[in-house]
Structure 1
Amino acid sequence: MTSLAVTMKGQVTLKRDLLQHLGIKPGERIDFDKLPGGELRVKAAKPVGTIDSFIGRHASKVKKPMRIEEMNEIAASGWAGEE
């Protein structure tokens, strides 16, 4: 078990090996779930896409009219955080 110190501001810094275990990279977010008995569950937050990033990422790929299946595939990959 890893022990971490709490700063005067109430902050805790997770060590690199813990972040790697969670699959967290700089700039990504972490979710905490409160459990009974004063425990927390820590997990990597799922990426949340925006419509702007979706449009910007795929605007240059549109060369001809697309079928609905192609649009659905692009939408699914955009919201899943894939590039």
Structure 2
Amino acid sequence: MTSATVTSKGQVTIPVEVRTALGLSAGDRIEFILNAASGRYEVVPATQSVTALRGIIRKPAHPGSIEDMNTAIAEQGASVR
């Protein structure tokens, strides 16, 4: 079993074997998820591919034209001045 030590600041260095198995590299985020059935926490990578975001934003019912967008930008800019 792989183990690590918690520092006085609550930090832990994840052993290389675990980082490799999880596909983690420097700067990646991880999540701690409580498994209610076992009462234990699971460590999982918090990374998602761009394709996982597909479908989050719906297509507008009436897409605006470039002219409509330029007009809205100009109006917004004029109201700030």
Please, what TM-score do these two structures have when normalized by structure 1? 0.50
Q: How many residues align?
A: 53
SS of residue in 2 equivalent to 1:20: helix
1:48 CA drift (Å): 7.0
Provide the C-alpha distance between the structure 2 equivalents of 1:38 and 1:6, rounded to a whole number of angstroms.
Answer: 20
Amino acid at match of 1:10: G
Q: Which has the larger radius of gyration?
A: 2
Structure 1 unaligned segments of length 5 or more: list them. 50-75
More helix per residue: 1 or 2?
Answer: 1
Q: Percent identity?
A: 36
SS of residue in 1 equivalent to 2:11: coil
Which aligned runs of 4 or more in structure 1 are off by greater than 3 angstroms?
none
Please, what TM-score do these two structures have when normalized by structure 2? 0.51
* Larger relative contact order, structure 1 or 2 (CA cutoff 8 Å, min sep 6): 1
Amino acid at match of 1:32: F
Q: Which residue of 2 aligns with 1:67?
A: none
What is the alpha-carbon root mean square deviation over aligned residues?
Answer: 2.6
Q: Which residue of 2 aligns with 1:10?
A: 10
Structure 2 unaligned segments of length 5 or more: list them. 55-81
